[in-house]
Structure 1
């Protein structure tokens, strides 16, 4: 009997799309967790103990890290939020995991996202590392669709 081996995908082949525009060059992307609160409830007529009900679902922030270049698109997006608020600045983001042939294998869609924090890396005259900038992105939902 022949069995097909299915290996897990490697985590270093990915791309990010923001409102359908591919943004290249991220060195690290965190896919946020999603947690549904557990609510304990006890009725006077339920003698064995407490019941567990599902509460609100919340998700963590997305973190995007990349080497600083001349491209100011993400930074300008953050400045737009600072100037006018998040209302009209919200965008949809997709994080796509790709295999060794370049085919899309997993996709996480993130809805109504906007940057909440910008951090540039530290400068060091003795260093030789790439200067990394980090964007923290909040959102209103994440869904794995593939």
Structure 2
């Protein structure tokens, strides 16, 4: 029986693609990734004369905002993406956050974020004594979020 890998939070990759090209927008590595979240507003309806139950209806879904911190990259593609998004507000990208198993190669799960737009891009404090990273923080708003759970039988190696 194949081993079922737990979801580990320390081994992940983030890939951002802009447009139809399969080439990633940026090749950057980040130390932290936060904001993969969904919440649903539930509507409660009380039926007159029925005091022992409530009717719950699904309401609108609210999505989080992806925050990537302490990143390293060898180019300025994130800065160009932000500037391009300012000059063309309809410009969007897609992103995928992949969580790897303990071996660092087997995909445990992935999250696909579509129609992403950069919201905040922050450079580190400039200090000649410290070897600071290239990107302190990147915040990305997304319009849809899809979770792809991997079963033990189809967890093909990807990296």
TM-score with structure 1 length normalisation?
Answer: 0.79
* Structure 2: distance between partners of 1:104 and 1:4: 14
* Structure 2: distance between partners of 1:10 and 1:116: 27
Is the Cα–Cα contact under 8 Å of residues 15 and 23 in structure 1 kept in the other structure?
no
The root-mean-square deviation of aligned C-alpha atoms, in Å, is 2.6
Residue matched to 1:48: 52
Q: Residues 27-50 of structure 1: CA distance to partner in whole angstroms, max 9, x if unpaired?
A: 211242100101122233544354
Q: Flag the 1:65–1:16 CA change in 2: closer, same or farther, 3 A.
A: same
Match of 2:77 among 59, 70, 73: 73
* Structure 1: distance between partners of 2:80 and 2:45: 47
Is the Cα–Cα contact under 8 Å of residues 31 and 71 in structure 2 kept in the other structure?
yes
Query: 2:141 aligned with 1:138, yes or no?
Result: yes
Residue matched to 1:118: 121
Q: Flag the 1:7–1:106 CA change in 2: closer, same or farther, 3 A.
A: closer
Is the Cα–Cα contact under 8 Å of residues 11 and 104 in structure 2 kept in the other structure?
no
Q: Flag the 1:92–1:61 CA change in 2: closer, same or farther, 3 A.
A: same
Match of 1:32 among 9, 31, 36: 36
**Aligned pairs, how many?**
142
**Deviation beyond 4 Å, 4+ runs, structure 1:** 3-7, 124-129
Report the Cα offset of residue 108 of structure 1: 0.6
